Structure 1
């Protein structure tokens, strides 16, 4: 059974639970794990079945370049680099969900990674009115904050050399504990693509960079290593934590082949809902 077949089962369950309201399915996994490909495949399948579906990557909620430059100036230089919690416009994400829940046609933001900035609104995609399903995908979707004590010791060269005082990682963790949990609480079902370990993430991400290098946009090996270190802490934490929490765990091998899939028992505790969310 393929990842798309496995994920489709979870999507069907989420939609059955939602009834005539918007179902929201979160898809998470380390960089290069195939989460964007999976989300697109699910959307294509749902479109073919005439289920109006919206697809939003958390990457498309990145703050603008100007906003991140301001964060870098006022809080910590590492916040100029997009990706970690604290560099997304979570309020915008919540506004989009609220509009979709009202059945509106919604303009979905798109981020140009080449320009490192959000595209003009005229170039945003359009989610259909009456969408029955929202797919929210991203590397940190569903992540939970770490305990404060876990932040004390740096875990890689980036943290040791560029965040010696731990200000950056504490800011990121605080953002994850606050606004991001309000966004993630809106999700009905989580699907997690589990890499075999963190060591494979660099290779997977490197494969993506090879494609970009062919058109003159990729990073060299040293830049890529530093880039991945921005996300190492949360990625490792999710690899430890999400197998116990995801509604559907899809275990991958080093070639991204599905080697196991496990659905959480329906009798397992369900994370608390955002009290502001409409009842289903």
Structure 2
């Protein structure tokens, strides 16, 4: 006879046999122990600056991935019930489904992007802003905080429940459980997107617009959500065909139940409708079944009857991790005043000996980097002009990445339009505004030397820009904001560096870093790369937000950039290359020795 009333209620509301509890004890005991251990040791693994040290006691965020019908909602409920019952933990449970856009919001999305986005499910149909807001509230909750309302979505109306109907959680939260069918799934390569995987894609997405949109959503937006996970659990189905059968079984059961309901249930799908519905999920489900297990902390394998048959913790996560360091140059690795990097030389040598790539991610030009990389003794990839293009030495990877061209011994990936496009745009501004700035294309070498402190040879290299136009601003701050907004309306992106405004295309250092990280993952399947980013200016923000670990290097001339992230952040005590060496000398031994065994490397590590 069951004596635990909370577990008894769990069995009743999920309409389960009591044998579920015995199986759960067999399979999930070590997982529960890991959650408890992680919760109490989280502060030992956090890398924060002293200003965010109060986040050391933040609740553990556990993600559960499982395809439709795998039992992820049941597992989430069980973990919450058990942790509450046995250990008096305060547990918040969320589903990615709870953050679907409303029917009307998806209708607008389908008009502007692609008609298939009308159907909820794939990445791009969730309100990620709301998800981050709720997680922020849960992770900062105190006994004095207001209750946090947890969103819920009504699938019968295809709309969120009104906020008044959302359940609330009070006080300090110990554990957050977030489950979702695509949770943690990584973006596919450009090559993988070329061919349709089913009839839906072949007929309704002939040109691949929908699948590329979904893929970009994962790459540039869902990655930030995944990075918040402390642990990722996967309920792994045998195959996508099994998923279809499970979904079909659910509909058949609903059809039988519908006969007893008054009024009769109208939403039961036929077999053909189930096939069409699951087609929306096929690409990412199949991709996740192959690629996600090695990125998880725990994998529980199911057979075709949903019986648990095997569980494991991928050892490769701990053994094959390696960092990739993305660094700004001016004011970060290079001194703001004299461009010296002498204080960082010994750290650079240690990194080279450890085969840890140091990747310049800079506003500097290709011409400047050719010479500077030689001085820094760097021979790997580099990113120029604020993320405009990535240069990879030929043969650095086993073969040429998709979407690159070969040029001067490099594989080159360009992300934006050429400099000529932006020069032509600047010619359209009013004479009154044109008097407020000087473009580098109009500056003499002496002008560049005076503005930057470079020597003559370096000034020549700095002038050889290919993708954007730096502007030396002469107006006031209010005039600058008006100017920026007007150029943005014409499709330009404006990045503020240490000295210049950079007028360029829709690129930034974060997007370029993410693209290169995808190549590291694609060409090193037996290893798990993660990113560490260092920068000092506002044009570094996208890179600092996107990396797993970020370091702000203090500047002698301007205030530090303001970041949204709270975790995985460190601020140097010193400026320039001294601060750069200080951060890495402290950070790397800790990362390499601890290896964060309960974290999710590729998720936590690609972008925060």
When the two structures are superposed, what TM-score results if normalisation uses the length of structure 2? 0.45
User: Any conservation in 1 of the 2:116–2:210 contact (CA below 8 Å)?
Assistant: yes
CA change 1:274–1:84 in 2 (3 A) is farther
1:278 corresponds to which residue? 567
Are residues 211 and 109 of structure 1, via their aligned partners in 2, closer, same or farther at CA, if it must alter by over 3 Å? farther
Give unmatched runs, 5+ long, in structure 2: 1-22, 44-56, 259-264, 322-527, 532-547, 551-564, 570-608
Aligned mate of 2:163, from 121, 130, 135: 121
Residue of structure 1 in register with 2:318 after alignment:
267
SS at match of 1:264: coil
Counterpart position of 1:245: 295
Q: Is residue 198 of structure 2 the alignment partner of residue 156 of structure 1?
A: yes
Aligned counterparts of 2:243 and 2:114: Cα–Cα separation in 1: 26
Alignment of 1:20-35 (within 5 A): 20-35=57-72
Q: Which residue of 2 aligns with 1:198?
A: 240
Q: Where in structure 1 are there 5+ consecutive unaligned residues?
A: none
Residue aligning to 1:15: 39
Q: How does 1:1-280 map to 2 (within 5 A)?
A: 2=24, 3-19=27-43, 20-48=57-85, 49-103=87-141, 104=145, 105-213=147-255, 214-215=257-258, 216=265, 217-265=267-315, 267-268=318-319, 269=321, 273=548, 275=550, 276-279=565-568
How far is the alpha carbon of 1:9 from its aligned partner?
A: 3.4
Alpha-carbon shift at residue 16 of structure 1 (Å): 3.1
Post-superposition offset of 1:10 = 3.6
Alignment RMSD (CA, Å) = 1.8
Bigger drift between 115-124 and 251-260 goes to: 251-260
Equivalent position SS for 2:300: strand
- Structure 1 205/70 Cα, relative in aligned 2: closer, same or farther at 3 Å? same
Query: Is the alpha carbon distance of 1:212 and 1:116 closer, same or farther for their aligned partners in structure 2, counting shifts above 3 Å?
Result: farther
Per-residue deviation, 1:251: 0.9
Change (3 A) 1:236 1:60: same
Q: Deviations over 1:126-161 (max 9, x none)?
A: 123200100000100111100111111000010001
What's the offset of the Cα at 1:274? 6.4
Instruction: Describe the SS at the equivalent of 2:228.
Output: coil
The separation in 1 between residues aligned to 2:313 and 2:40, in whole angstroms, is 16
Helix, strand or coil for the counterpart of 1:267? helix
Distance 2:253 2:90 in 1: 32
Is the 2:238–2:303 contact (alpha carbons within 8 Å) kept by the matching residues of 1? yes
Greater displacement, 28-37 / 208-217: 208-217
Matches of 1:264 and 1:101, distance apart in 2: 28
Residues 23-32 or 203-212, more deviating: 203-212
Q: CA deviation at 1:6?
A: 4.6
SS at match of 2:171: coil
TM-score (norm 1): 0.94
Between the aligned partners of 1:278 and 1:79, the Cα distance in structure 2 is 33
Quick check: 2:152–2:161 contact (8 Å CA) kept in 1?
yes
Distance across 2 between alignment mates of 1:115 and 1:191: 30
CA distance in 2, matches of 1:229, 1:166: 15
Q: Distance between the aligned counterparts of 2:138 and 2:60, measured in 1?
A: 10
Aligned length: 280
Determine which structure has more spread, i.e. the larger CA radius of gyration.
2
- 1:17, distance to aligned residue in structure 2 (A): 3.2
Instruction: Identify if the C-alpha distance between structure 1 residues 124 and 274 changes in structure 2 by more than 3 Å, giving closer, same or farther.
Output: farther
Shift of 1:279: 4.8
Distance 1:127 1:219 in 2: 35
Q: Secondary structure at the match of 2:292?
A: helix
Q: Which has the higher contact order (CA 8 A, sep 6+)?
A: 1
**8 Å contact from structure 2 (residues 186, 292) kept in 1:** no
State whether residues 39 and 174 of structure 2, in contact with CA within 8 Å, keep that contact through their aligned partners in structure 1: yes
SS in 1 for 2:233: strand
